[in-house]
């Protein structure tokens, strides 16, 4: 059974308030977003009438305010730091982690009762956070086994805020891939279900199944109702006179689930596009295009870093309007902070042509298959098994290798088989064996020349730093884009290709800026401290020609 967490009171009792000498971060003004400083109760930008975009589609107006609020919501889905939102007047919180919704309480009738309920609430949130860091080996194995038939590692936060004239804004933040190795399983389900990436589709439908268990007691009381569920809210949103509007946000996998959910709301629930808006960051592609009449006709935005590999993969296309940030060397210097060791730079240089060639899911699956097959040939079973006990940069990678149980070759075989099945499902034909053989011949000298750990470091360098929302409490690539780079975004939409793969259609930047009303930034550009490693990990002065060239590849 699912149990909703409904928080209708301060998450931390007054008796436990921060001391006067607490750090500045702990004494931030109430109700402001921790990343952007945006007022979390200033919601007008999320409920404005639709406008024409550069491609003549009607959609919610894009603004800096909405983008910053959405960045905060997408980040909060990871941290579960609900206090700033509660301080800003948000209420009726529900947190879903995997197959359970944590339960909560409502306001008491006395100060003591309120304090006790706040303590219980805080305990529930701590339990939810602990679930995201599952370390029990038995629980991990059991959770991984659950994923064999269907992905259920959905993570989402729901909450409600009153609007003027008796209306309400429902917010849903979808979390991206977690730190547990089995959180990644749904990402690798490249086969399709109902015309969508199978893993993302299953996460979405699992979330939908709890629609009658997610309740909004404070909102129900304000409306004079005995009970109000998510399902009832969505049903009312079929009407233009609905008292509810829906705002969604998510990063990475969260942006993918948001797209599938928006599609299902419009097609299965009958929710009107005019009652929704959503912002994805680093969103993967989710649909095949076969069952989507117009991929651009969704009230969604996707802010994408041109260096990021994740938005290039998943299925074949995004739903909504994509806004691509053209990464340059200054941006890379500031945000990526990669190793400057000559061997690391050389490995990145060697892989750079392949990173550029992997432009969509079919090409990524093809190149990945060739790479994995080369690893199996060059390193062998014994060499690969020796790697299982080593620590990697991503905890999920460590746990995935540990779960291989000393059989690295079996793990590679499963990954190859999965990639080949996904390629066939998306394109309608198997991988070209001649193309695979040619790629293996090109990659073999590289795989032979570099240690496996060095190669994996180069792969992670291309995949992870361009993908970060925030990283170790600091602004990642996407936070910097939202705070300082919105005026450089290039719009594009996906067009169905008929018998061919979907294609991108870019709009003119000037047209984008007319429709994308970006007010001047309130943020001051930060200068990297002297001595900090930059970009590809090397300084601008004293570069060798080889290292300077490597810096421009990411």
Question: Would you say 175 and 95 are in contact if contact means Cβ atoms under 8 Å apart?
Answer: no
- Kindly state the helix (H) or strand (E) to which residue 550 belongs, with its residue range: helix 545-551
Instruction: Measure the CA–CA gap between 128 and 98, rounded to whole angstroms.
Output: 10
Q: Looking at per-residue confidence, does 533 or 98 come out higher?
A: 98
pLDDT band at 488 (very low <50, low <70, confident <90, very high): very high
Per the structure block, which two tokens stand in for 351? 């892989």
| Coil/strand/helix, residue 96 | strand
Mean local confidence (pLDDT), 546-550: 36
pLDDT confidence bin for 456, thresholds 50/70/90: confident
Task: Kindly tell me if the per-residue pLDDT of 549 is higher than 90.
Answer: no
Total-model pTM: 0.83
Summarize pLDDT for 185-218 with one digit per residue, the tens: 666 777 888 999 998 999 999 999 989 999 999 8
Give the mean model confidence (pLDDT) for residues 527-540.
34
CA distance 285 to 507: 19
pLDDT over 80 (residue 522): no
Q: Per-residue pLDDT for 232 more than 60? A: yes
Instruction: Please give the Cα distance from 323 to 302 (Å, whole number).
Output: 6
Residue 119 has pLDDT above 70, yes or no: no
Which tens digits make up the pLDDT trace of 46-83? 999 999 999 999 999 999 999 999 999 999 999 989 88
pLDDT at 544 > cutoff 50:
no
Tell me the mean pLDDT in the region 124-135. Answer: 61
- Residue 402: per-residue pLDDT: 53
Name the phi and psi angles at 528, rounded to 5. -60, 135
pLDDT in tens, 281-319: 999 999 998 776 789 999 999 999 999 999 999 999 999
How far does Cα 56 stand from its chain's mean position? 27
- pLDDT attached to residue 66: 97
Using the predicted structure, report yes or no on whether residue 15 has a pLDDT greater than 80.
Answer: no
> 523 pLDDT exceeds 50?
no
Q: Report whether pLDDT(108) > 80.
A: no
Strand partners, 62: 516
- What pLDDT, on a 0 to 100 scale, did the predictor assign at position 411? 74
The pLDDT of residue 378 is above 70: yes
Which residues 6+ apart lie within 8 Å of 135 measured at CB?
none
CA-nearest of 158, 156, 159, 162 to 47 is: 162
pLDDT digits (tens, 9 = 90+) for 317-358: 999 999 999 999 999 999 998 999 999 999 999 999 999 999
433 HSE (CA, 13 A, CB side)? 0
Residue labelled with tokens 């709301």: 265
pLDDT for 469 beyond 60: yes
Q: Look at the chain and count its residues.
A: 554
Q: How far apart are CA 151 and CA 198, in angstroms?
A: 9
Looking at residue 500, its pLDDT comes to 82
pLDDT tens-place string over residues 141-178? 555 556 566 666 788 999 999 999 999 999 999 998 76
Q: What does each C-alpha distance from 376 to 383, 413, 446, 470 come to in angstroms?
A: 9, 9, 14, 35
- Please say if the pLDDT value at position 363 is more than 90: yes
d(CA 170, CA 211) in angstroms, rounded, equals: 13
pLDDT higher than 70, residue 510: no
Residue 22's pLDDT is what?
A: 40
Lowest mean pLDDT among 82-91, 346-355, 383-392: 383-392
Q: Is 383 helix (H, G, I), strand (E, B) or coil?
A: helix
Between residues 424 and 292, the one the model is more confident about: 424
Query: Which residues face 301 on adjacent strands?
Result: 279, 321
Query: Comparing 364 with 545, which gets the higher pLDDT?
Result: 364
Give the model's pLDDT for residue 370: 95
Distance CA 219, CA 415 (A): 47
The pLDDT of residue 361 is: 95
* C-beta contacts of 265-271 below 8 A and 24+ residues apart: 265/234, 265/237, 266/298, 269/234, 269/235, 269/237, 269/238, 270/238, 271/234, 271/237, 271/238, 271/246
Residues 533 and 340 sit within 8 Å (Cβ to Cβ): yes
3-class secondary-structure state, position 201: helix
Distance (Å, rounded) from C-alpha 471 to C-alpha 376?
33
In the predicted structure, residue 520 carries a pLDDT above the cut 60:
no
Res 168: pLDDT: 98
End-to-end CA distance of the chain: 47
Q: Say yes or no to pLDDT of 511 above 60.
A: no
Position 146 scores a pLDDT of 60
Give me the chain's average pLDDT, please.
Answer: 79
């Amino acid at each position: 059974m699912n149990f909703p967490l409904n928080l209708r009171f301060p998450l931390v009792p007054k008796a436990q308030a921060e001391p006067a000498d607490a750090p500045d971060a702990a004494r931030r003004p109430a109700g402001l977003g921790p990343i952007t400083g945006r007022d979390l109760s200033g919601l007008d930008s999320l409920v404005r009438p639709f406008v024409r975009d550069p491609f003549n589609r009607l959609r919610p107006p894009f603004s800096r305010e909405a983008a910053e609020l959405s960045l905060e919501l997408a980040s909060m889905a990871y941290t579960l730091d609900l206090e700033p939102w509660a301080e800003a007047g948000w209420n009726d919180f529900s947190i879903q982690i995997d197959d359970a919704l944590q339960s909560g309480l409502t306001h008491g009738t006395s100060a003591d009762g309120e304090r006790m309920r706040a303590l219980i609430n805080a305990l529930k949130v701590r339990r939810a956070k602990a679930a995201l860091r599952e370390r029990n080996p038995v629980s991990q194995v059991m959770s991984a086994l659950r994923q064999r038939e269907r992905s259920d590692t959905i993570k989402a936060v729901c909450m409600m805020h009153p609007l003027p004239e008796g209306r309400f804004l429902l917010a849903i933040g979808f979390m991206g891939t977690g730190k547990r190795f089995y959180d990644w399983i749904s990402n690798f389900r490249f086969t399709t279900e109902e015309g969508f990436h199978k893993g993302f589709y299953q996460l979405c439908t699992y979330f939908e199944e709890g629609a009658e268990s997610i309740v909004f007691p404070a909102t129900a009381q304000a409306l004079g109702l005995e009970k109000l569920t998510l399902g009832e809210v969505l049903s009312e949103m079929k009407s233009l006179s609905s008292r509810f509007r829906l705002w969604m946000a998510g990063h990475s996998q969260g942006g993918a689930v948001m797209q599938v959910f928006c599609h299902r709301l419009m097609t299965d629930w009958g929710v009107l596009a005019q009652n929704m808006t959503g912002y994805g960051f680093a969103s993967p592609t989710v649909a095949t295009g076969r069952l989507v009449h117009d991929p651009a006709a969704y009230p969604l935005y996707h802010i994408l870093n041109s260096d990021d590999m994740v938005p290039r993969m998943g299925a074949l296309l995004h739903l909504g309007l994509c806004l691509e940030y053209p990464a340059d060397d200054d941006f890379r210097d500031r945000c990526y902070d990669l190793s400057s060791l000559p061997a690391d730079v050389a490995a990145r240089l060697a892989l750079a042509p392949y990173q550029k060639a992997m432009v969509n899911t079919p090409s990524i699956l093809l190149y990945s298959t060739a790479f994995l097959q080369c690893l199996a040939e060059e390193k062998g079973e014994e060499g690969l098994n020796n790697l299982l006990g080593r620590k990697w940069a991503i905890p999920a990678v460590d746990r995935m290798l540990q779960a291989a149980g000393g059989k690295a070759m079996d793990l590679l075989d499963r990954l190859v088989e999965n990639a080949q099945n996904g390629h066939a499902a998306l394109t309608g034909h198997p991988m070209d064996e001649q193309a695979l053989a040619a790629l293996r011949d090109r990659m073999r000298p590289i795989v032979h020349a570099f240690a496996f750990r060095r190669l994996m470091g180069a792969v992670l360098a291309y995949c992870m730093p361009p993908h970060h929302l925030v990283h170790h409490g600091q602004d990642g690539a996407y936070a910097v884009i939202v705070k300082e780079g919105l005026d450089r975004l290039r719009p594009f939409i996906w067009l169905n290709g008929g018998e061919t793969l979907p294609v991108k259609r870019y709009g003119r930047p000037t047209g984008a800026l007319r429709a994308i009303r970006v007010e001047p930034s309130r943020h001051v550009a930060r200068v990297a401290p002297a001595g900090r490693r930059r970009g590809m990990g090397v300084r601008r002065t004293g570069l060798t020609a080889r290292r300077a060239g490597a810096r421009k590849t990411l």
